[in-house]
């Protein structure tokens, strides 16, 4: 169907952008994150998925754009002609590190027994480019470890990083808005 729409409207316009000092050409409408992936530049993310909308909640994919006052989420921002993107400036790396520290603030340190051990993006990002000791004194907000969400799903609210992917799958794919984020700040949790 997408191919039919594209054929009817003609080929998509191309835009020229510079990523980390190298010039590239991409179809208009592509996000900066997708453009980076196409040329092999690794930009970290948690909440983005190619089949879902991009809420830009995790702030791991922040990049710098020349002329913009602060880093912006690459998963949400479309490429534009003559855009200059910097994915690895000290400013961007520090903001990403701070956001990762914030995500880890109340995350349990139970990697050896976690079912995602070895496949965890949170762990991978930490070891790839942060690996600093946390400034947390060790006290964490405790949440429910075993939440029954139905016949097939048991949720550990402490391990959930609130990326909202599951909520978007319910809303956009299944068309059943069964999951929500409740409360605010460090008391936020995924629930029905």
- Residue 116 confidence (pLDDT): 80
Based on the number of CB atoms within 10 Å of its own CB, is 155 exposed (0-12), middle (13-18) or buried (19 or more)? Answer: buried
Q: Which two tokens stand for residue 40?
A: 């092999």
Q: Which residues of the chain have pLDDT under 70?
A: 1-11, 130-131
63-94 in b/e form (b: 16+ CB < 10 A) is bbbeeeeebbbbbbbebeeebebbbeeeebee
What digits encode the pLDDT tens for the residues 56-106?
Answer: 999 999 999 999 999 999 999 999 999 999 999 999 999 998 898 888 888
How far is C-alpha 98 from the geometric centre of its chain's CA atoms?
A: 14
Question: How many C-beta atoms surround the C-beta of residue 46 within 10 A?
Answer: 22
Q: What is the pTM of this model?
A: 0.85
Q: Are 167 and 179 in contact (CB under 8 A)?
A: yes
- Strands 147-148 and 154-155 come out as antiparallel
């Amino acid at each position: 169907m997408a191919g039919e729409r594209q054929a009817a409207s003609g080929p998509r316009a191309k835009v020229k952008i510079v990523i980390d000092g190298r010039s590239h050409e991409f179809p208009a409408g592509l996000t900066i994150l997708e453009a980076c992936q196409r040329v092999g530049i690794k930009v970290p993310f948690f909440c983005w998925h190619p089949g879902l909308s991009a809420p830009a909640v995790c702030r791991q994919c922040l990049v710098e754009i020349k002329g913009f006052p602060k880093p912006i989420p690459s998963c949400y921002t479309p490429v534009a002609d003559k855009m200059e993107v910097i994915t690895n400036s000290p400013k961007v790396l520090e903001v990403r590190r701070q956001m990762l520290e914030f995500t880890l603030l109340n995350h349990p340190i139970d990697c050896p027994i976690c079912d995602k051990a070895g496949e965890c993006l949170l762990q991978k990002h930490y070891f790839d480019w942060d690996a600093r000791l946390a400034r947390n004194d060790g006290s964490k907000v405790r949440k429910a470890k075993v939440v029954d969400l139905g016949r097939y799903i048991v949720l550990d609210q402490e391990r959930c990083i609130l990326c909202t992917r599951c909520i978007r799958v319910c809303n956009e794919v299944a068309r059943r808005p069964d999951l929500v984020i409740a409360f605010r700040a460090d008391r936020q949790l995924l629930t029905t």
